Amino acid sequence: MSEKITVSVIKADVGSVVGHSRPHPSMMDKCREMLTDGQKQGIIEDFYVTRVGDDINLLMTHYKGENHKDVHGLAWNAFMEATKLAKKMKMYAAGQDLLTDAFSGNVKGAGPGSAEMEFAERASEPMLFFMADKTEPAAYSLPLSRIFLDPFTTTGLVIDARAKKGFDVEIHDVKDSKKVVMSSPEETLSILSLLGDTTRYAIKRITSRSGIGPAAVVSTDKLNMTAGKYVGKDDPVCICRSQSGLPAVGEFLQPFMNTMLVAGWMRGSHVGALYPCSVDNSDPTYFDGPPRICCIGFQLNDGRFQGIEPMDSKPGIHQPIDFFEGQVWDHVRSNAVKASKMMRGHGPFMPAILSPEEMEYTSRPEVLKELTKRLEKLD
Least distance (Å) between residue 277 CB and ligand F6R: 16
Least distance (Å) between residue 133 CB and ligand F6R: 7
- In the annotation, is 165 catalytic? no
CB-based contact 93:13 (threshold 8 Å): yes
Residue from 68, 204, 222, 267 touching ligand F6R (CB under 6 A): that is 267
| φ, ψ for residue 357, nearest 5 deg | -70, -25
20 is an interface residue for ligand F6R by CB under 6 A? yes
Residue from 68, 134, 146, 333 touching ligand F6R (CB under 6 A): that is 134
Least distance (Å) between residue 287 CB and ligand F6R: 8
Contacts of the segment 303-311: beta carbons below 8 A, 24+ positions apart: 303/1, 303/5, 303/45, 303/46, 303/61, 303/62, 303/63, 303/121, 304/45, 304/46, 304/61, 305/46, 305/47, 305/48, 305/59, 305/61
Least distance (Å) between residue 333 CB and ligand F6R: 19
The whole-angstrom distance between residue 309's C-alpha and the CA centroid of its chain comes to: 25
Active-site residue, from 230, 234, 235, 288: 230
Site residues (CB under 5 A) for Mg ion? 13, 20, 53-55, 133, 235
268: partner contacted, choices ligand F6R, Mg ion, none (Cβ within 5-8 A by kind): ligand F6R
Torsion of CA 158, 146, 258, 249, to 10 degrees: -70
55: partner contacted, choices Mg ion, ligand F6R, none (Cβ within 5-8 A by kind): Mg ion
275-to-8, 182, 283, 375 alpha-carbon distances in Å: 25, 30, 11, 43
19 is an interface residue for ligand F6R by CB under 6 A? yes
Least distance (Å) between residue 378 CB and ligand F6R: 36
Residues within window 281-310 making contact with ligand F6R, judged by CB under 6 A = 288
112 is an interface residue for ligand F6R by CB under 6 A? no
Nearer to Mg ion, 21 or 67 (CB): 21
Q: What is d(CA 172, CA 179) in angstroms, rounded to the nearest whole number?
A: 4
Active-site residue, from 233, 234, 235, 283: 233
* DSSP H helical ranges for the chain: 25-40, 69-88, 141-149, 156-159, 161-164, 188-195, 223-226, 249-253, 265-268, 330-344, 364-370
Least distance (Å) between residue 290 CB and ligand F6R: 11
The whole-angstrom distance between residue 43's C-alpha and the CA centroid of its chain comes to: 23
268 is an interface residue for ligand F6R by CB under 6 A? yes
Torsion of CA 358, 340, 195, 6, to 10 degrees: -90
Name the residue with the smallest CB distance to Mg ion. 20
- In the annotation, is 233 catalytic? yes
| φ, ψ for residue 140, nearest 5 deg | -85, -15
Torsion of CA 315, 49, 17, 266, to 10 degrees: 160
19: partner contacted, choices ligand F6R, Mg ion, none (Cβ within 5-8 A by kind): ligand F6R
Residue from 54, 97, 160, 234 touching ligand F6R (CB under 6 A): that is 54
- In the annotation, is 13 catalytic? yes
Residues within window 146-185 making contact with ligand F6R, judged by CB under 6 A = none
272 is an interface residue for ligand F6R by CB under 6 A? no
Residues near ligand F6R (CB under 6 A): 19-20, 54, 93, 134, 232, 266-268, 288
Catalytic residues: 13, 230, 233
